[in-house]
Amino acid sequence: EVQLVESGGGLVQPGGSLRLSCGASGVIFKLYAMSWFRQAPGKGLEWVSGITASGSRTAYGDSVKDRFTITRDNTKDTLYLHLNSVTSEDTAMYYCARGRSAGIIPRMTSQADSWGQGTQVTVSS
């Protein structure tokens, strides 16, 4: 059974930084592209960022480009999202998701096969 477990969320001040982690088990992590999605209160699910299986290619949504960085450590079966210069607009539940292939970054929910339970990020002073 595939398990994705997010961690690292919490309360952060505007302009601050945070690192989210997503640990994977029950799957050969290094074979799959991965993504982060988020859902703000009262809004739909938004794709945030993705990375190919090898980590050679990354992609970002317009709202987080140049502020967030996605990385992965295939030796630790872990995906990361580094949040910098956060604003109140970044307040959301953040989810990691596994794609279906090595090279296609899942950008829609229909392209992801497994999901974590989420970790809450709240940006507030």
pLDDT in tens, 28-87: 999 999 999 999 999 999 999 999 999 999 999 999 999 999 999 999 999 999 999 999
Q: What is the pLDDT of residues 1-43, one digit of tens each?
A: 889 999 999 999 999 999 999 999 998 999 999 999 999 999 9
| pLDDT score of 99 | 97
Determine the pLDDT at residue 84.
98
User: CA 56 to CA 72: how far, in whole Å?
Assistant: 10
* β-sheet bridge partners, residue 68: 83
Bridge-partner residues for 51, per DSSP? 34, 58
Contacts of 33 (CB under 8 A, 6+ apart): 50, 51, 52, 53, 98, 99, 101, 102, 103, 104, 105, 106
**pLDDT at residue 20, rounded to an integer:** 98
Residues 17-52, buried b or exposed e (16+ Cβ, 10 A)?
ebebbbbbeebebeebbbbbbbeeeeeebebbbbbb
Q: What is the DSSP-derived secondary structure letter of residue 1?
A: -
pLDDT at 1: 87
